[in-house]
Structure formats: structure tokens, C-alpha cells
Homo-oligomer: A and B are copies of this chain.
Amino acid sequence: MTVRVGVLGVGNIGQDHIRRLSRVLCGASVVALSDIDSARASTVAGGVTGARVFDTGQELIRADDVEAVLVASWGPTHADFVLAAIEMGKSVFCEKPLAPTIAACLHIVDAEVAYGRRLVQVGFMRRYDDGYRAMKTAITSGALGTPLLIHCAHRNASVPPNVTSDMLITDSAIHEIDLVRWLLDEEIVAARVLKPRRSGRVGELQDPQLVILETVTGVVVDVEVFVNCGYGYDIRCEIVGESASVSLDDPSGVILRRDGQRAGRVPGDWRERFARAYDAELQAWLDSVAASTVTGPSAWDGYAATAVADACLTALESGERAAVQLAARPALYG
């Protein structure tokens, strides 16, 4: 069975998903696409056999031959597209964030609850990384004992100069926020953001930041976010339990001994580091759409991540601990 997908937003991320759907994964066909930049939409469509260009996302979502929708447009546009898809009863994969505001996220949650069945998957691809999955297994198998602490680092070699201090939370730490919730299967209740000495290479940007989260059972999580670390894309995570600890290993593939060093490669960026997680994420979505049972990161997960990120922004500004206030969790989300 082939899922006929319509893609909203064909910038870098959208194009990368189109490549996956067209040339890597099993069971998809890109039949429609749309972009705010219609020239770009036409150019991209030229390389995708059988894909029609729609003037607006709303038209694409309503098109009969579009079975499922992939939203990869600008963040503030996500909510309207996702709501439209729900209205049409179509499965929708939405890149993170589900929506930039708590209110918009809740609106989606309410709509999906009203619809009565899960239609939305949010693009938290790290849940599909083999390493993180093995970490979760280490927890659920009981190998660690009760988790007590999590240490994370999230480093990019560099980011464009227009990145703001808030974006270290909303674009970077958001991944760890989701992972912590998923790994521990519990909610985050408070956040602090410490501001270390700033790198002298990045102007006024508060980079790095040390985000500290607390979960409902008291697990403390520290997340270093450093988006101009200079040397590569380096993702670390360790969960410390009562009797054992589990950490992501450093992926390198090969070891080169040369010039007095024994060296492995640090990934250059997230595309390289999480290439297989992106593939697995989208294949899981396709399979779940074909089976009419969406199972990946939910609208609730998207809402909760935005709510925690919001508390982090409050904490970043105030310098104080900020509590996370979550709505009651609808039964649809287990």
C-alpha cells in the first residue's frame, strides 16, 4: 500500500522529507506540495514525478488525492495546517514545534480530542534514534533502578548570526525536553536556566546556557546547550539510576591513528548524526498511517514540550525557577 502524501513547505527540511518519501522509504508517494514561495514550489515539484503544486496549504489539505499531510513550513503556520488536517480527518506529520504558543498547541489538542482519534505526529525524531531507544530499554528493563538524574549536552558547531538566545531553548533544548518526558514517561514540573560566561565569538548571544529541569518524581536534568561550540555536532545523554548508569556512546564508525592521535569523527550536523532517526521516524509514520493508528510523538507531547520551553524562557529572563503549568491530560493520550 502506498500513502499519498502532500507536503507543506519545501525549504530545506521539506525537501529532505520529500527525498525520503520519494527515494528512501517504502510505501509513500508525494502527490502534492505547496510553499509560500510559489516559485520554489514549482522548482521542487519539477523533480518529483506526479506531484502537483497547490497555491495554498489549505487547498492542498482538502485535495481528494492527498491522504496524509506533512507540515514543514514556518513554525507559526503549523497550527492552522494541522487543524485543517484534523478537520479533514487526515493524518498529519508536523515538524517541531507543533505550534510556538501554548494556546495554539492546546487548540490542536482539543481539536484532536474532539475528533476522537489520533491524527497528529510531531517531528521529535530523536525518539527513533537507536541509542536513545536503547537508553529507554535500559530504564524499562529495570537495569538502572529508579532514574535519579539525567545529564545532557546539545552542541552545534555554529549557528547563523540571526539566532537569538530564546532559540537555544525553543529550537535546541526542545529536543531534550521531549526526550526527558519520553525516556522517563513523566512530566516536567519546573525549569531553571543558568547563564555561564558567554563565548566571546558570538556577540550578545547567551551561548552557552545550562537548562535545569525537574520532573514530577524529582528527577533533576541538566542540559548544556551550546550552539557555537566550534568543533562539531555533539549530543550527549546519560541517565543515572539507583544502581547503574546508561549513556549514549560516541558514534564514529572508524578510528584513525595519525600524527600522535587516535581519533574518531564528531558528526558535522544533525542531518549526519540523526540521518537514520529521520528515516525511521518517517517510515514509522507511513506505516502507522497505512494502519490507521498514529503512534509517534503526539499533539500532547507537542503541547507539553512547548509548555516546558515556555517555562524555560521565563526562567531565562527572570533568572529564577519557573514552574510548568500543564492542562489536564485527556484520556486520548493514555
Contact = CB atoms under 8 A, between A and B. Distances in A.
Interface of A: 1, 22-27, 49, 130-131, 134-135, 138, 143, 145-149, 151, 153, 157, 194-201, 208, 210, 212, 217-220, 222, 224, 226, 229-232, 234, 240, 242-250, 252-266, 268, 276, 283, 287
A212 B249 CA distance: 25
Q: Which of A145, A153, A210, A243 has the most CB of B within 10 A?
A: A243
Q: Which of A134, A157, A258 has the most CB of B within 10 A?
A: A258
Contacts of A234: 245, 257
Contacts of A261: 231-232, 261, 263-266
A201 B257 contact: no
A260 B240 contact: no
B259 A254 contact: no
11 contacts: A25-B26, A145-B230, A148-B197, A151-B222, A153-B240, A210-B220, A230-B242, A231-B243, A231-B258, A244-B257, A263-B264
A260 B234 CA distance: 10
A301 to B, nearest CB: 22
A257 B249 contact: no
A66 to B, nearest CB: 20
A218 B232 contact: no
A151 to B, nearest CB: 7
A303 to B, nearest CB: 25
Nearest to A283: B24
A151 B254 contact: no
B134 A254 contact: yes
Q: Which of A24, A197, A210, A250 has the most CB of B within 10 A?
A: A197
Contact of A197 (B49, B143, B217, B230): B217
Contacts of A283: 24
B232 A257 contact: yes
A199 B147 CA distance: 9
Contacts of A232: 257, 260-261
Contacts of A224: 149, 151, 240
Contacts of A246: 254-257
Contacts of A217: 197
